[in-house]
Amino acid sequence: MQIIKNEWKSLWRNKIFALLTLFFLVSLAAVTWLGIAQNTKQQAQQQAAHDEIRQKWENIDAMNPHGAAHYGSYAFKPVTALSGIDDGVNAVTGNVLRLEGHVQNEMVYSEASQSLSASKFGKLKPSLLLQYVIPLLLIFMAFASISSEKDSGRLKLLIFQGASRKQLIFSKSLSVFLYGLLLLIIVIAVQLIVSFSTLNSNELLRMTLLFFAYAMYYYIIATLATYFSARLQSNAAALSSMLVVWLVWTIFLPNIWGNTTDALYPLPSRQDFKAAMQEDRAKGIDGHNPSDERKKALTQKVLDEYKVEDVKELPINFDGLLMQADEEYGNIVWDRHFGENHKILEKQKRTYQISGFVNPFASLQSASMGFSGSDMLHHVDFLQEAENYRRDLIKKLNDKHAYGGSKTGDWNWEADNSFYRSIADFSYMLPQIKSFGSHYLLDFICLGFWVILITVVVSLTAKKIKIG
């Protein structure tokens, strides 16, 4: 503990370090605040668009339900307080989904598609600083922490005074680690202060897990950099070695493993995917049960049920039943093709997470996006909830068309405004982390594995470190 205190006193006596710290604190606070302000603006825009669309829906005059199905509605992917820290895939997946009959649309209006410039690292968010810049700062703080003591001869003096090599490594690494925690706490504190009135227990729990994920990664970086400083002969060797590790972890391995994952579990191209969907919708799944045969079978079934010879004799509107049957078959096709894609995405996610045993940065990224609710799993959850709402909406419209009082072929029949107002609006909330936590357990296991591994390696090999 005394070594840690001395380290901090020595650091703060350095005016350059103090000014650099002040710069980082202000930068982190500013970037976090700007991220929150950006989120607040986007939330206001979404809410305004949502309110306008809902108002138009509730003010629909008498209209044929089938026309209303084409009129449709929109689902907006909500912006949460945590996406101000790490917006993950949200910037490229879009945030608006059109809900209408006969078709399942793709999300549109991604921030990346509307940006004049695109960056590999994305927008300036706290996650960019937390994942890339702060670890680099910790490396530059730790790389000479012990090697410089060797050069000055102070290391021998500390050992002669009773400090063990293991104590020195852990004390110096912890002093650097605590500095990283300080910067991390600033981000969390600003997020809490500015967004406190809108945060709920789920988001607070997510933020806590986010904090521990980054804390473990900072411990790994700080301890490994200090260990290199102790084992290698010079400052230059320690710094260059740690920078190589940082580059491999943050740049090369994610790309290599990501490409490998895509090759192992490839997704179909958009063109092939849409063509397969359209073919199954028209010809039937696996080429069986084409649409015209499905229509004949349904017609005969309904005629037999009502004991009539012609659809015009039905007391209901057969057109509504036919459209709903087509929707339900389309839902089967959707579940099949999108379900297969979702399984592939889950396999890709799990395979990428396994790389955390080799690269703790992969686990940090996965946990950061996951706890922020901005990874692909959360995106798929939103799509599924929006699709469930779309199906319910279209079924209500088709049922009204079929059983609302009109007869087959009567496309001029209209449902009144009270019917449309009775249909509930779409609402989506960020899932409880308790229900999603199992998806990120592997990330914590990998980070924990690295924490234990480095701690054990330092403990077992510290005695071999030369003191001069």
Tens of pLDDT along the chain (468 residues)?
A: 556 666 666 666 667 777 877 887 888 888 888 878 888 888 888 889 999 999 999 998 889 898 888 888 899 988 888 888 888 888 788 788 999 888 888 776 555 444 444 444 445 678 888 999 899 999 988 887 776 666 566 666 666 666 677 888 888 889 889 989 988 998 888 888 887 777 889 999 999 999 999 999 999 999 999 999 888 878 888 899 999 999 999 999 999 998 999 999 998 888 888 888 888 877 775 555 677 788 888 889 999 998 988 888 889 999 899 889 888 888 998 898 888 988 999 999 999 999 999 999 999 999 999 999 999 999 999 999 999 999 999 999 999 999 988 888 888 898 999 999 999 999 998 899 988 888 999 999 999 999 999 999 999 887 777 655
Question: What pLDDT does residue 9 have?
Answer: 64
CB 386 within 8 A of CB 334: no
CB 409 within 8 A of CB 310: no
Tokens of 310: 């012609």
Question: What pLDDT does residue 156 have?
Answer: 63
Tokens of 144: 């000479």
Distance CA 272, CA 253 (A): 30
Helix (H) or strand (E) holding 74: strand 73-76
CB 164 within 8 A of CB 462: yes
Question: What pLDDT does residue 106 have?
Answer: 79
Number of continuous H segments (helices) and E segments (strands) in the chain:
21, 3
Distance CA 225, CA 239 (A): 8
Distance set, CA 221 to CA 185, 217, 360, 377 (Å): 17, 6, 10, 28
DSSP-based three-state secondary structure for 98 = strand
Q: Over the range 182-219, which residues count as b (16 or more CB within 10 Å of their CB) and which as e?
A: ebbebbbebbeebbeeebeebbeebbebbbebbbbbbb
How many other CB atoms sit within 10 Å of the CB of residue 460? 10
Distance set, CA 295 to CA 157, 185, 322, 367 (Å): 91, 63, 7, 49
Which residue bears the tokens 């406190």?
196
Strand partners, 73: 99
Q: Of 124, 134, 132, give the one whose Cα is nearest residue 184.
A: 134
Distance CA 169, CA 179 (A): 16
Q: Kindly report the pTM of this predicted structure.
A: 0.88
Question: What pLDDT does residue 231 have?
Answer: 85
CB 147 within 8 A of CB 232: yes
DSSP-based three-state secondary structure for 75 = strand
Distance CA 12, CA 19 (A): 10
Distance CA 318, CA 327 (A): 14
Crossing angle (nearest 10°) for helices 201-231 and 441-461: 30
